[in-house]
C-alpha cells in the first residue's frame, strides 16, 4: 500500500500533497496553526501504524473515540495521575489530561535518537567528571569559566569528590522537537533531576485499558520493566555491599511531582523518604525505621542538590539530611544523580555541547541542540535584542514556566521591560526561536484535530548509556497553542516505539531482579505520624466529651451554680487540655459560649478541638500512602465539620443548642473514625502505632482527670452533694457511667471510682486496659528482641507500670494508717496519681525515642 | 610571635536536642606567614570528629551527635607562630588600572574574588566609594590605604548592631556594625573596582593593658572574644595582602588567620543544625595568649568584649 495514499485516507485533517519538509498550513480556518505533521513525516512502517490507529479509533463509529476519551479520563483519575498547575493554588491536585491517539516512532527513528541521546549523556558525564576534578574544560576555554563559576548550581563543595565509576549522570531525560528541515533537535537537557517517566508509564497503562484493541496487534518494545530496571541500574552504583539499599528522596507532598515520586517508589519497591527520615552517624547514612536504623547505600534524589544537606550548602534551607555530604565525601553513599549535576540545567552550557563533544570524544554531536542564542555574548545579545519578537527568551537555568517569555505574545511595555532586564543581567538569559513542535492528531469534539506535541526520552547513564524504549509525548490542550507543559494544562499521550526488524538491538535480557530489595520496616516518620494521629484523635474526643459533660451537669443542677462547686471539673478540663489548673478561674471568659468557642473552635488555642483535628489531618495527609482512603475520608469530614463551624463563632444568638449539636456531631464523627480505622486498617505496624498513640493519650487523660477531680484541698469546703455530682461527672467525662452502674450498685464513691478507672482491665478507658493494649502493640512492633533486658526499652517500662497499676492496693492509699477510709483523696493517692501521670508521659517519650527518633543509645550497641 | 589560642563555643538548648550536626572551621591555616604547631578540637558530648579540606583550602571538621543532648561545647586549642612580613604594598608604584591589567592572566583563578556574592553585593553606595577611592588612575597602594582609613573613620564599631546575615547594603544604611561588616564592605568596594578581594576569618591579639611601668598588668581574661575578620587584596606581585579596616591597619603579626572565602558564609567558625528543641543560647569565649619563646619577650593579652552571641572583637 503506498504510504502517501494511506496518509491521506487516514488523516484527512492532516492531509498533505507533498509529504515532507514543507511547513504545514491548515487552511484559512486554522490560520494560527503552523508546523509539520508528524504523521506526514513518518516513514512507511510508522505511517501504516498511524493509519491503523486512526481506523481503530474512528471506524467503529464516531462515538467510539469519545467513549475511549472518557474512559481514559476516568482511568487517569482512578490512577491518581496528578500534577500541580503552577497558576493554581498550591498543592491542589489536578488530573492530567490524556489523549488516546498515540505517537508512533519507527525503529529507524528510535535508533537515531538512541544513539544521539546516549552520546549526549556520555558527553555530559565527561563534562561533570572533568569539571569536578581538574577543570581542563575551563582551562582550555572550551566553556567560558564565568558561565560555570557564576552559576549557583556549580557546587564548589563537590569539587574533588570521587563518585563511583566516575558516573555523575545516572538518569537523564531530554526534550526533543523537529526543526524546519524535519531534523530532530534537543530543546532541553535534564541531566540533574528528571521528571516524567511515570506519566509515560501511566499513558501506556491507561491506553491499554481504554483501547485494548489498539495495542493488541502493535509490535512495541515493552515499557513496564522500567521501575525494576531503574532499581537494578541504581544498585550497580553502590559501593562495597552485595545487598545495596536504595531510597527515593522526595521533597514531600507539596512538590509538583510528588505523584511521580510516590508512584515510582512504589513501583520500584523502595522507601519514599524525606530528609528528616535519614540520619548521618559516623559518616554513614541511615534510614530511621521503627525496627532501628537501616544503612542506605544509594539515594535516588528527586530534590535539588542544594536541598540535600542544609549544613554543607549555603543558604537558609532547613531541608535535607545534615551531614550527608560527609558520607558522599567518604564514599559511603551514592547520590543519583551526583551532586553538581544540577549545573546541567544551565541552557547556556548545554549550548556548548558540540564543542564539549569534540573536546572529550573528538566526535561530532549526533543530535543538534536547538539554535540557542546566549545573551551574555555581546554579538548574540545584539541579535536577540534586535529581533526580540522572533524569540522566546528563557532564564538560563530556571525550569519553571514563569521563567519563559514569548516575545510574540507580549505588549510593547512588557517587551521593553524584558529588553531592559536582558541588558542589565545578560548572563541570566538565553533566547531561542519559537519551539519547532510537530503536530499530531488528537481527539477533539468532532473527531481528530491537530495539536502541537513534544517528545521526552529517558536515558540510563553509565559507561554505556542506554536509552530506555519509553518516551513521553506531551501535547498542547488547544488548537494553535504551543504550551505542552503539564504545569500549564498540557496533556499526555502514549508513545509507541515499534520493534524494528533488526534495526534496533534487541532489548537486553528481560529484567529479572535477582534479589528484590529486602522489605524495610515502616519508616519512623510515618510511624510517628500515626502515633500522633492516635493521640490527636483521642485528645479531640476527650476534650469535647469533658466540655460537654461539664455543661450538662451545670444545666442539670441549677441549684449548685456556685462556681466553686465545679472547680475540680474545670480544673480537670484545664489539665486535660494542657492548661494550668487555674486557667478557667483566671481566664476572662464571660459566658458559656466564650468558653465553648475557646475550647472547640479557637484557632489561637493550641489545644482546641479544631487544632487537634487540624493536626490529626495534617499527620494523615503526610502519610496518605499508609492510611486507607476510607479513614482519610472520615478524617477529612471531621475537619470539614469543625472548619465549617468555625466560620461562625459560637455566640448568644445560637445559644446552647448549637454548641451541643456541634459537640454531638464531633463525637459521632470521631466514633465513625474509630470504627472505620478498626475495619479498614491492616493489623501491621501502622495499626500498632495508631493504637499506641490512642492508648497513651487515653491513659494519660484518665489519670490526669481522675486526679484533678479527686484532689480537693482541705481548706475548700465542697458541699457533699457537689462532691457526688463531681464523681458522677467524672464517670461521664470518661464515658464510664454505664460501666460503673453495672459493676457497683451504689452512688459513686472515691475508692470505687478509682479502682474502676485505673484497675479494671475490662473497662476500655481504664489505665490498666490502656497499658495492656500498649504492651501488646509494643510486643508486636518490637518482635522477640524487645523482650531482652534493656533498661531503656519502652516495653520494659510499660510492663513495670502495668504490674504496678494492677497490683497496687488502693486501701493502703486511701487509708495509709489503716483507719477507716476518708472520703477525701489523701495525699498518698494524689502523689501516686501524679507519679503515674509523669511515668506515662515518660513512656510516651521512650516509645518515641526507641522507635521513632532513634537516639544513639539504641543503635550504638 | 607565638600564640596559644583557646576558643570555646557553647550551645545550650531550651530543651535537649535530639540530634545535631555541625561544621567547624576553627583550625588556623598554614601559610607562608603563619605555622600551626598544634591543634586539637574537643567536643562535649564526646563524639567522633571528621575532617576534610574545603574548596578554598580551609580545614573543616564535622560533628554529628545523634542522641539527646542538653548542650554542645566545642573547644578548639592551638599553638600558632606568626612571622613578621614586609610591607609589599610599599613597592607597588602603579595605578589601579595597571594593577588590574596585571592579573588579567589569572582571571579564572581570581574570578570568585571579583564577583559579588551572597553578602558582598554591589550597589550605589559601593560604586560611589569605588569611584571615589579607586578610580583607574589612582595609585594602587595609597588608595587602598586611604579606603581602609576612610571606612575606619566613617563607620562605627558597635557589637550587636548587625548579625551574621547582614549584607553590605544594610551596613551602609545603619553605618555601624562589627568587623565582618567592615570587611564585607571593603571587599565590595575593591571588587567593584576590579581588584580581587577575599574574606579572612581569624583571631587577633588585642592590646594588653599596661601599668605605669609599661608592663602588662593582666594576663588573658577568659570570657573575652577575640574572633576577628578582615580581608585580603590581590596585589600586582601576585600576593595576597591583608587589610583590617576595623583597626585602620594592615594585617600584622598579631593577626592569626583561620580561613578564607568569598565572604563570611564560606568560613563561619561554626554552623550547624539541631532538632528537637526550639531555641538555643550561644556563648563564645576566645583567649589569645602570647607565649614566651626563646626570642620574644613574654606578654599576653586578650579583649574583654561582651560575650554576646555574635559579638566579635572590639578594638
Interface of A with B (CB under 8 A): 138-139, 145-146, 149-150, 156-157, 159, 276, 279-283, 310-312, 314, 318, 322-323, 326, 329-330, 849, 853-857, 859
Instruction: Using the CB atoms, write b or e for A460-498: b if 16+ within 10 Å.
Output: bbbeebbbbbbbbbbbbbebebbbbbbbbbbbbbbbbbb
Give the whole-angstrom CA distance, residue B96 versus residue B140: 5
Suggest the residue from B66, B119, B167, B274 to mutate for an interface test with chain A (most A CBs closer than 10 A).
B66
Pairing of strands B240-244, B227-234: antiparallel
Q: Are B77 and B99 in a shared domain?
A: no
Q: Are B181 and B240 in a shared domain?
A: yes
From the list A173, A190, A177, A168, the residue with the least C-alpha distance to A226 is A173
Contact B68 A855 (CB under 8 A): yes
Chain-centroid distance of CA A19 in Å reads: 47
For residue B191, the distance in angstroms to the closest alpha carbon of chain A comes to: 15
Q: Are B24 and B147 in a shared domain?
A: no
In sign, the C-alpha dihedral spanning A422, A427, A432, A434 is: negative
- pLDDT for A647 equals 85
Q: What is the CA radius of gyration of chain A?
A: 34
Give the whole-angstrom CA distance, residue A284 versus residue A797: 31
For residue A283, the distance in angstroms to the closest alpha carbon of chain B comes to: 8
From the list A278, A281, A286, A290, the residue with the least C-alpha distance to A794 is A290
Among A138, A150, A322, whose Cβ lies nearest the Cβ of B108? A138
Instruction: Using the CB atoms, write b or e for A353-370: b if 16+ within 10 Å.
Output: bebbbebbeeeebebebb
- The enclosing domain of B30 has a CATH number of 2.60.40.2250
Range of A572-576, A588-592, A631-635 with top mean pLDDT: A631-635
Please list every residue in chain B whose beta carbon sits closer than 8 Å to the beta carbon of residue A279: 19, 66
In sign, the C-alpha dihedral spanning A398, A399, A401, A404 is: positive
Q: Mean pLDDT throughout A83-102?
A: 66
Q: How many domains are there within chain B?
A: 2
Does A587 have pLDDT greater than 80? no
Please list every residue in chain A whose beta carbon sits closer than 8 Å to the beta carbon of residue B266: 314
Does A345 have pLDDT greater than 80? yes
For residue B223, the distance in angstroms to the closest alpha carbon of chain A comes to: 28
Lowest mean pLDDT among B9-13, B206-210, B280-284: B206-210
Please list every residue in chain A whose beta carbon sits closer than 8 Å to the beta carbon of residue B265: 314
Contact A854 B112 (CB under 8 A): no
User: How confident is residue A829, by pLDDT bands cut at 50, 70 and 90?
Assistant: confident
Does A636 have pLDDT greater than 60? yes
Pairing of strands A447-460, A438-444: antiparallel
In a domain, residue B93? The reply is yes
- pLDDT for B307 equals 34
Give the whole-angstrom CA distance, residue A125 versus residue A116: 14
Give the whole-angstrom CA distance, residue B155 versus residue B245: 10
Q: Are B132 and B257 in a shared domain?
A: yes
DSSP state of A370: P
- pLDDT for A708 equals 86
Q: Are B141 and B260 in a shared domain?
A: yes
For residue B59, the distance in angstroms to the closest alpha carbon of chain A comes to: 13
User: How confident is residue A15, by pLDDT bands cut at 50, 70 and 90?
Assistant: very low
Among A156, A326, A854, whose Cβ lies nearest the Cβ of B50? A326
User: How confident is residue A16, by pLDDT bands cut at 50, 70 and 90?
Assistant: very low
Residue of chain A whose Cα is closest to the Cα of B20: A322
Lowest mean pLDDT among A40-49, A182-191, A345-354, A364-373: A40-49
Q: For the residues of A209-228, what is the DSSP string, one character each?
A: HH-HHHHHS--B---TTHHH
pLDDT digits (tens, 9 = 90+) for B213-248: 666 655 444 434 578 999 999 999 889 999 999 999
Does A84 have pLDDT greater than 90? no
Contact B67 A311 (CB under 8 A): no
Contact A311 B275 (CB under 8 A): no
Contact A311 B273 (CB under 8 A): yes
B48 touches chain A (CB under 8 A): yes
Residue of chain A whose Cα is closest to the Cα of B105: A139
Does A90 have pLDDT greater than 90? no
Lowest mean pLDDT among A337-351, A746-760, A846-860, B146-160: A846-860
Contact A280 B21 (CB under 8 A): yes
Lowest mean pLDDT among A30-34, A307-311, B199-203, B279-283: A30-34
Please list every residue in chain A whose beta carbon sits closer than 8 Å to the beta carbon of residue B52: 326, 329
Please list every residue in chain B whose beta carbon sits closer than 8 Å to the beta carbon of residue A156: 54-56
- pLDDT for B215 equals 65
Does A506 have pLDDT greater than 50? no
Q: Which of residues 274-303 of B touch A (CB under 8 A)?
A: 275-276
Does A594 have pLDDT greater than 70? yes
- pLDDT for B243 equals 95
B15 touches chain A (CB under 8 A): no
User: How confident is residue A465, by pLDDT bands cut at 50, 70 and 90?
Assistant: very high
Residue of chain A whose Cα is closest to the Cα of B117: A150
pLDDT digits (tens, 9 = 90+) for B53-102: 999 999 999 998 888 899 999 999 999 999 987 788 888 889 999 999 99
Strands (E), A198-355: 246-249, 272-273, 278-281, 284-289, 292-295, 298-301, 334-336
In a domain, residue B204? The reply is yes
- pLDDT for A269 equals 84
Lowest mean pLDDT among A681-695, A838-852, B204-218: B204-218
Lowest mean pLDDT among A562-571, A808-817, B260-269: A562-571
Edge-first strand order for the sheet with A284-289 is A278-281, A284-289, A292-295
Q: Are B203 and B164 in a shared domain?
A: yes
Among A159, A311, A854, whose Cβ lies nearest the Cβ of B55? A159
Please list every residue in chain B whose beta carbon sits closer than 8 Å to the beta carbon of residue A855: 18, 66-68
Does A281 have pLDDT greater than 90? no
- The enclosing domain of B166 has a CATH number of 3.10.620.30
Among A138, A282, A322, whose Cβ lies nearest the Cβ of B273? A322
Please list every residue in chain B whose beta carbon sits closer than 8 Å to the beta carbon of residue A329: 52
- Full-model pTM: 0.79
In a domain, residue B298? The reply is no
Residue of chain B whose Cα is closest to the Cα of A327: B50
B62 touches chain A (CB under 8 A): yes
Does B44 have pLDDT greater than 60? yes
Suggest the residue from A309, A311, A841, A845 to mutate for an interface test with chain B (most B CBs closer than 10 A).
A311
Calculate the average pLDDT of chain B: 85
Does A591 have pLDDT greater than 70? yes
B58 touches chain A (CB under 8 A): no
Chain-centroid distance of CA B107 in Å reads: 25
- Asked whether B164 and B268 are in contact (CB, 8 A), the reply is yes
- pLDDT for B213 equals 65
In percent, the amount of chain A with pLDDT more than 90 equals 43
Does A765 have pLDDT greater than 70? yes
Give the whole-angstrom CA distance, residue A221 versus residue A840: 60
- pLDDT for A12 equals 29
Domain boundaries, chain A: 524-859
Between A and B, how many CB-CB pairs are < 8 A? 71
In a domain, residue B255? The reply is yes
Q: Mean pLDDT throughout A462-466?
A: 93
Q: Mean pLDDT throughout A274-290?
A: 88
For residue A312, the distance in angstroms to the closest alpha carbon of chain B comes to: 8
Q: Are B193 and B100 in a shared domain?
A: yes
User: How confident is residue A545, by pLDDT bands cut at 50, 70 and 90?
Assistant: very high
Give the whole-angstrom CA distance, residue A323 versus residue A300: 17
Position of cell 586611604?
Answer: B146
- pLDDT for B314 equals 30
In a domain, residue B304? The reply is no
Contact A138 B54 (CB under 8 A): no
Q: Which set of grid coordinates corresponds to residue A494?
A: 502514549
Q: Are B241 and B170 in a shared domain?
A: yes
User: How confident is residue B187, by pLDDT bands cut at 50, 70 and 90?
Assistant: very high
Question: What φ, ψ does residue A240 adopt, rounded to 5°?
Answer: 65, 30
Q: Are B48 and B112 in a shared domain?
A: no
Among B21, B67, B265, whose Cβ lies nearest the Cβ of A856? B67
- pLDDT for A505 equals 47
Q: Mean pLDDT throughout B98-110?
A: 91
Please list every residue in chain A whose beta carbon sits closer than 8 Å to the beta carbon of residue B108: 138-139, 145, 149
For residue B232, the distance in angstroms to the closest alpha carbon of chain A comes to: 20
Return the higher-pLDDT residue of A622 and A606. Answer: A606
Range of the domain at B76: 2-83+269-291
Please list every residue in chain A whose beta carbon sits closer than 8 Å to the beta carbon of residue B56: 156
pLDDT digits (tens, 9 = 90+) for A718-741: 555 566 778 888 899 898 889 999
Edge-first strand order for the sheet with A429-433 is A373-374, A429-433, A391-395, A404-406
Give the whole-angstrom CA distance, residue A633 versus residue A445: 35
Please list every residue in chain A whose beta carbon sits closer than 8 Å to the beta carbon of residue B118: 314
Contact B108 A859 (CB under 8 A): no
In a domain, residue B296? The reply is no
For residue B71, the distance in angstroms to the closest alpha carbon of chain A comes to: 15
B51 touches chain A (CB under 8 A): no
Q: What is the CA radius of gyration of chain B?
A: 20
Q: Are B100 and B236 in a shared domain?
A: yes
Does A32 have pLDDT greater than 90? no
User: How confident is residue B164, by pLDDT bands cut at 50, 70 and 90?
Assistant: confident
pLDDT digits (tens, 9 = 90+) for A671-684: 999 999 999 998 88
Please list every residue in chain A whose beta carbon sits closer than 8 Å to the beta carbon of residue B48: 282
- pLDDT for A343 equals 96
Please list every residue in chain A whose beta carbon sits closer than 8 Å to the beta carbon of residue B18: 849, 853, 855
Does A110 have pLDDT greater than 80? yes
pLDDT digits (tens, 9 = 90+) for A168-184: 999 999 999 987 778 89
Lowest mean pLDDT among A11-15, A536-540, B50-54, B61-65: A11-15
Amino acid at each position: 500500500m503506498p504510504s502517501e495514499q494511506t496518509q491521506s485516507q487516514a488523516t484527512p485533517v492532516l492531509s498533505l500533497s507533498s509529504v515532507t519538509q514543507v511547513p504545514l498550513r491548515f487552511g484559512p480556518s486554522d490560520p494560527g496553526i503552523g508546523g509539520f505533521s508528524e504523521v506526514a513525516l513518518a516513514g512507511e512502517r510508522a505511517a501504516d501504524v498511524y493509519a491503523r490507529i486512526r481506523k481503530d479509533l474512528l471506524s467503529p463509529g464516531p462515538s467510539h473515540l469519545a467513549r475511549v476519551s472518557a474512559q481514559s479520563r476516568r482511568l487517569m483519575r482512578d490512577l491518581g495521575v496528578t500534577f500541580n498547575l503552577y497558576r493554581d493554588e498550591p498543592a491542589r491536585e489536578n488530573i492530567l489530561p490524556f489523549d488516546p491517539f498515540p505517537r508512533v516512532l519507527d525503529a529507524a527513528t528510535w535508533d537515531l535518537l538512541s544513539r544521539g541521546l546516549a552520546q549526549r549523556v556520555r558527553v555530559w558525564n565527561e563534562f561533570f567528571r572533568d569539571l569536578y576534578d581538574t577543570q581542563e574544560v575551563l582551562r582550555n576555554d572550551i566553556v567560558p569559566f564565568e558561565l560555570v563559576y557564576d552559576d549557583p548550581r556549580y557546587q564548589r563543595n563537590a569539587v574533588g569528590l570521587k563518585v563511583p565509576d566516575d558516573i555523575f549522570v545516572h538518569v537523564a531525560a531530554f526534550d526533543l522537537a523537529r526543526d524546519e528541515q524535519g531534523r530532530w533537535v534537543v530543546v532541553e537537557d535534564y541531566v540533574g533531576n528528571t521528571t516524567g517517566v511515570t506519566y509515560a508509564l501511566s499513558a501506556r497503562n491507561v491506553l491499554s485499558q481504554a483501547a485494548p484493541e489498539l495495542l493488541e496487534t502493535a509490535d512495541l518494545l515493552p515499557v513496564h520493566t522500567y521501575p525494576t530496571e531503574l532499581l537494578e541500574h541504581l544498585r550497580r552504583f553502590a559501593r562495597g555491599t552485595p545487598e545495596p539499599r536504595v531510597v527515593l528522596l522526595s521533597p514531600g507532598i507539596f512538590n509538583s511531582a510528588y505523584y511521580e515520586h510516590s508512584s515510582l517508589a512504589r513501583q520500584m519497591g523502595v522507601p519514599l523518604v524525606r530528609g528528616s527520615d535519614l540520619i548521618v552517624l559516623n559518616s554513614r547514612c541511615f534510614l530511621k525505621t521503627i525496627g532501628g536504623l537501616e544503612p542506605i547505600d544509594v539515594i535516588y534524589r528527586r530534590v535539588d542538590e542544594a536541598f540535600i544537606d542544609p549544613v554543607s550548602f549555603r543558604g537558609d534551607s532547613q531541608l535535607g539530611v545534615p551531614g550527608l555530604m560527609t558520607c558522599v565525601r567518604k564514599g559511603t553513599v551514592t547520590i543519583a544523580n551526583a551532586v553538581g549535576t544540577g549545573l546541567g540545567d544551565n541552557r547556556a552550557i548545554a549550548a556548548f555541547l558540540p564543542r564539549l563533544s569534540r573536546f572529550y570524544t573528538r566526535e561530532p554531536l549526533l543530535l543538534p541542540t536547538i539554535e540557542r542564542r546566549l545573551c551574555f555574548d555581546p554579538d548574540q545579545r545584539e541579535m536577540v535584542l534586535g529581533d526580540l519578537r522572533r524569540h522566546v527568551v528563557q532564564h538560563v537555568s530556571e525550569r519553571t514556566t514563569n521563567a519563559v517569555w514569548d516575545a510574540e505574545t507580549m505588549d510593547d511595555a512588557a517587551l521593553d521591560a524584558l529588553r531592559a532586564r536582558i541588558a542589565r543581567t545578560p548572563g541570566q538569559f538565553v533566547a531561542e526561536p519559537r519551539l519547532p513542535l510537530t503536530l499530531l492528531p488528537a481527539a477533539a469534539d468532532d473527531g481528530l484535530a491537530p495539536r502541537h506535541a513534544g517528545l521526552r526520552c529517558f536515558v540510563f547513564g553509565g559507561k554505556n548509556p542506554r536509552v530506555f524504549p519509553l518516551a513521553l509525548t506531551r501535547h498542547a490542550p488547544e488548537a494553535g497553542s504551543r504550551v505542552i507543559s503539564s504545569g500549564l494544562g498540557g496533556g499526555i499521550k502514549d508513545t509507541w516505539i515499534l520493534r524494528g526488524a533488526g534495526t534496533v538491538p534487541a532489548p537486553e535480557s528481560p529484567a529479572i531482579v535477582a534479589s528484590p530489595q529486602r522489605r524495610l520496616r515502616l519508616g519512623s516518620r510515618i510511624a510517628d505520624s500515626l502515633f500522633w494521629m492516635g493521640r490527636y484523635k483521642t485528645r479531640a474526643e476527650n476534650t469535647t466529651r469533658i466540655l460537654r459533660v461539664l455543661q450538662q451537669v451545670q444545666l442539670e443542677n441549677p441549684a449548685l451554680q456556685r462556681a466553686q462547686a465545679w472547680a475540680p471539673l474545670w480544673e480537670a478540663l484545664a489539665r486535660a487540655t494542657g492548661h494550668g489548673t487555674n486557667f478557667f478561674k483566671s481566664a476572662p471568659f464571660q459566658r458559656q459560649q466564650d468558653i465553648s468557642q475557646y475550647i472547640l473552635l479557637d484557632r489561637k488555642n493550641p489545644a482546641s478541638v479544631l487544632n487537634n483535628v487540624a493536626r490529626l489531618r495534617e499527620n494523615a495527609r503526610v502519610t496518605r500512602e499508609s492510611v486507607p482512603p476510607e479513614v482519610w475520608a472520615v478524617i477529612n469530614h471531621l475537619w470539614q465539620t469543625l472548619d465549617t463551624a468555625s466560620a461562625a463563632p459560637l455566640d448568644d444568638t445560637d445559644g446552647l443548642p448549637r454548641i451541643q449539636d456541634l459537640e454531638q456531631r464531633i463525637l459521632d464523627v470521631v466514633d465513625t473514625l474509630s470504627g472505620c480505622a478498626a475495619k479498614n486498617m491492616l493489623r501491621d505496624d501502622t495499626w500498632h502505632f495508631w493504637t499506641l498513640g490512642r492508648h497513651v493519650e487515653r491513659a494519660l487523660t484518665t489519670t490526669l482527670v481522675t486526679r484533678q477531680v479527686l484532689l480537693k484541698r482541705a481548706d475548700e469546703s465542697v458541699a457533699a452533694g457537689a462532691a457526688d455530682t463531681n464523681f458522677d461527672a467524672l464517670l461521664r467525662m470518661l464515658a464510664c457511667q454505664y460501666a460503673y452502674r453495672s459493676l457497683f450498685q451504689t452512688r459513686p464513691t472515691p475508692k470505687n471510682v478509682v479502682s474502676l478507672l485505673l484497675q479494671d482491665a475490662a473497662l476500655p478507658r481504664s489505665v490498666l486496659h490502656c497499658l495492656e493494649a500498649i504492651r501488646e502493640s509494643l510486643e508486636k512492633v518490637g518482635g522477640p528482641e524487645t523482650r531482652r533486658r534493656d533498661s531503656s526499652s519502652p516495653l520494659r517500662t510499660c510492663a513495670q507500670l502495668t504490674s504496678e497499676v494492677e497490683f497496687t492496693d488502693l486501701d493502703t492509699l486511701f487509708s495509709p494508717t489503716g483507719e477507716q477510709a476518708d472520703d477525701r483523696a489523701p495525699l498518698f493517692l494524689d502523689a501516686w496519681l501524679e507519679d503515674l501521670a509523669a511515668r506515662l508521659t515518660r513512656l510516651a517519650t521512650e516509645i518515641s525515642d526507641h522507635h521513632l527518633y532513634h537516639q544513639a543509645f539504641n543503635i550504638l550497641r | 610571635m607565638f600564640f596559644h589560642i583557646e576558643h570555646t563555643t557553647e550551645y545550650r538548648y531550651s530543651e535537649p536536642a535530639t540530634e545535631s550536626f555541625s561544621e567547624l572551621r576553627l583550625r588556623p591555616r598554614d601559610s607562608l606567614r603563619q605555622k600551626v604547631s598544634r591543634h586539637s578540637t574537643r567536643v562535649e558530648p564526646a563524639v567522633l570528629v571528621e575532617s576534610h579540606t574545603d574548596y578554598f583550602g580551609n580545614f573543616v571538621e564535622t560533628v554529628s551527635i545523634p542522641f539527646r543532648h542538653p548542650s554542645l561545647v566545642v573547644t578548639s586549642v592551638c599553638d600558632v607562630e606568626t612571622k613578621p612580613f614586609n610591607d609589599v604594598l610599599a613597592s607597588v608604584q602603579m595605578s589601579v588600572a595597571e594593577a588590574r591589567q596585571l592579573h588579567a592572566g589569572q582571571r579564572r583563578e581570581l574570578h570568585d574574588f571579583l564577583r559579588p556574592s551572597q553578602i558582598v553585593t554591589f550597589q550605589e553606595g559601593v560604586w560611589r566609594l569605588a569611584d571615589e577611592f579607586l578610580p583607574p588612575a589612582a595609585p594602587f597602594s595609597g588608595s587602598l590605604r586611604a579606603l581602609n582609613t576612610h571606612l575606619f573613620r566613617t563607620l562605627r564599631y558597635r557589637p550587636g548592631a548587625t548579625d551574621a546575615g547582614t549584607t553590605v547594603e544594610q551596613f551602609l544604611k545603619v553605618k555601624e556594625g562589627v568587623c565582618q561588616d567592615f570587611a564585607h564592605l571593603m571587599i565590595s568596594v575593591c571588587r567593584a573596582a576590579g581588584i580581587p578581594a577575599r574574606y579572612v576569618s581569624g583571631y587577633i591579639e588585642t592590646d594588653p593593658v599596661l601599668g605605669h611601668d609599661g608592663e602588662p598588668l593582666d594576663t588573658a581574661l577568659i570570657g573575652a572574644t577575640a574572633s576577628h575578620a578582615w580581608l585580603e587584596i590581590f596585589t600586582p606581585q601576585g600576593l595576597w595582602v591583608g587589610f583590617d579596616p576595623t583597626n585602620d591597619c594592615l594585617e600584622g603579626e598579631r593577626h592569626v588567620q583561620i580561613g578564607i572565602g568569598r565572604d563570611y558564609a564560606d568560613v563561619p567558625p561554626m554552623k550547624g543544625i539541631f532538632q528537637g528543641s526550639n531555641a538555643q543560647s550561644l556563648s563564645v569565649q576566645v583567649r589569645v595568649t602570647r607565649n614566651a619563646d626563646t626570642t620574644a619577650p613574654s606578654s599576653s593579652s586578650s579583649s574583654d568584649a561582651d560575650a554576646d552571641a555574635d559579638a566579635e572583637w572590639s578594638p
